[in-house]
Structure 1
Amino acid sequence: MTRRPSGRRFRHATMHDLPHMLKIYEHARALMAANGNPTQWGGTFPREEVVRDDIANQRTILLVDAKDGHERILAQFALCPGKDPTYAHIDGAWLDDDAYVTIHRIASSGLVRHAARDCIAWALKHYGNVRADTHPNNKAMQHVLETSGFARCGLIQLLDRPTDTTRIAYQRHEW
């Protein structure tokens, strides 16, 4: 897919990557909890079957590099094309109603700095109109999105859970 001067590149995940991806999500859940955001992903999100489905449907993109002859996963995210049902109702307003992709389930391995920012930049470069959302307690992701030029558009409510459903919605459209 796309190569970066640092030797980093992006590629689609395969089922071979699943065990390492699950460890990265475990690391991300622990990091979020340690930084005042214990409920966004709780102890089990994303569930393994969701990760498997993302891989099978080629939604998962990995940022990788090579060190000592071995490939390392630096970050991962699901890139979901088409209208996201969760975004149909917003307390606020989207920048536009143009076609967009959504970044979901972004997580860094913690091996390098700015891996999530690199993932977001890749999505913007390749798709132009990108939406994302994050928990009000996820100050780190809010910072990454806002310093990546995303506009805070309002609040949305997740449809797939009974509690802790409020998320801050963001969008950036490269005109």
Structure 2
Amino acid sequence: MVSDSNATSRRFRHATMQDLPQILKNYARARELMARNGNPTQWGNTFPREEVVREDIAEHRMMLLVDVQDGDERILAQFAVCSGEDPTYRQIDGAWLDDDAYVTIHRITSAGLVRHAARDCIEWTLKHYGNVRADTHPNNKAMQHVFESAGFARCGLIQLLDRPTDTTRIAYQRHEW
């Protein structure tokens, strides 16, 4: 059931290895949801790989949106905030808003427990980092809507470097001046 009754108790924190089982379940749920909604290839059956998630946690890139319900903490959404230049973003068919330093949001997903969890993650990242880039699959209409409704500019197309096929992604950026 999707609700917003605990919106005021939401907070962000870094993920720990203790969170890994739930994080992996959330990614499995997201893969199934994407496949049912006409986007079976963006994450396929295995993305993100467990070793990537473990590295995100170890490097303090994995952030969680959590709340407490009935005394238990719940993971509402998760995402990686990656600082530094993203090699995938060096080449773009289009143009970035600027060449300023930025962070990239990767591997964002909601647990499906509350509304607007992905938007909240994006807004938190903008508040803390200011200049944010992201990308999504052309078939991922839901994520395109989230980025565009959060004020991101569609900057063009990029090609992923880590796979041989299905590499085109729509690139987005928002810079809080």
Shorter-chain-normalised TM-score: which range? Answer: over 0.9
Question: Which residue of the other structure, out of 67, 70, 87, is the alignment partner of 2:69?
Answer: 67
Query: CA 1:161 to 1:70, structure 2 compared with 1: closer, same or farther past 3 Å?
Result: same
Q: What TM-score do the two structures reach when normalised by structure 1?
A: 0.97
State the alpha-carbon separation in 2 of the partners of residues 109 and 30 from structure 1: 12
Which residue in the other structure is 1:132 paired with? 134
Confirm or deny that 1:96 pairs with 2:108: no
Aligned-pair RMSD on alpha carbons? Answer: 0.9
Which among 31, 34, 37 is matched to residue 32 of structure 1?
A: 34
TM-score w.r.t. the length of structure 2 is 0.96
**Unpaired segments of 5 or more residues in structure 1?**
none
1:112 aligns with 2:114: yes
> Percent identity between the aligned chains?
81
Matched letter for residue 150 of structure 1 = F
CA change 1:5–1:114 in 2 (3 A) is closer
1:51, distance to aligned residue in structure 2 (A)? 0.2
Q: What do residues 46-84 of structure 1 show as CA deviations (whole Å, max 9, x unaligned)?
A: 000000000000000000000000000000000000000
Residue 42 of structure 1: how far off its partner (Å): 0.2
1:6 Cα shift? 1.1
Moved over 3 A (4+): none
- In 1: Cα distance, 2:41 partner to 2:27 partner: 14
Aligned residues: 172
Amino acid at match of 2:167: T
Equivalent position amino acid for 2:15 in 1: A
Partner SS state of residue 24, structure 2: helix
Cα distance in structure 1, aligned partners of 2:110 and 2:32: 12
User: Residue 169 of structure 1: CA displacement?
Assistant: 0.1
- CA shift for structure 1 position 5: 6.2
**Aligned residue among 6, 12, 23 for 2:14:** 12
Q: 2: CA distance between counterparts of 1:5 and 1:97?
A: 35
Partner residue of 1:171? Answer: 173
- Segments of structure 2 that go 5 or more residues without pairing to the other structure are 1-5
Q: Of 15, 34, 51, which aligns to 2:53? A: 51
